[in-house]
Amino acid sequence: EVQVVESGGGLVQAGESLRLSCTASGFTFDDLAIGWFRQAPGKEREGVLCIGNGDGATHVANSVKGRFTISSDNAKNTVYLQMNSLKSDDTAVYYCAADLTGLGCALAGGLYDYWGQGTQVTVSP
């Protein structure tokens, strides 16, 4: 069974850090691209960061550049989203998604085949 599961969301204060985890199962992890997306109430879904597990190449949205990083532990089939210097604007439901094409990663949600259920991140001012 193919599964993508996020964890690690929660409530933090502005300026603090949080790390989200995305664990994928049911496919060959090394061939995947994993993307992190977020959606705040009343706003469109936004691509945040992605990583191609084959070559490790990443893409990052300007809105989080310098604050968020992405890393992959292929042995654990897990990708991490490290979020530092959080702002209230970062409040959203964060989703992890897997792209099985093996062509590398992109921040376009339409390219991704499997999505997690989402995890809430709330940043208080």
What is the SS3 assignment for 44-59? CCEEEEEEECCCCCEE
pLDDT, residue 55, reads 82
The amino acid sitting at 67 is R
The amino acid sitting at 69 is T
pLDDT, residue 46, reads 97
CB 47 within 8 A of CB 108: yes
69 Cβ contact list (under 8 Å, min separation 6): 49, 81, 82, 84
| Regions of the chain where pLDDT drops below 70 | none
Answer positive or negative: Cα dihedral of 59, 18, 6, 41: negative
Q: What percentage of the chain carries pLDDT values higher than 70? A: 100
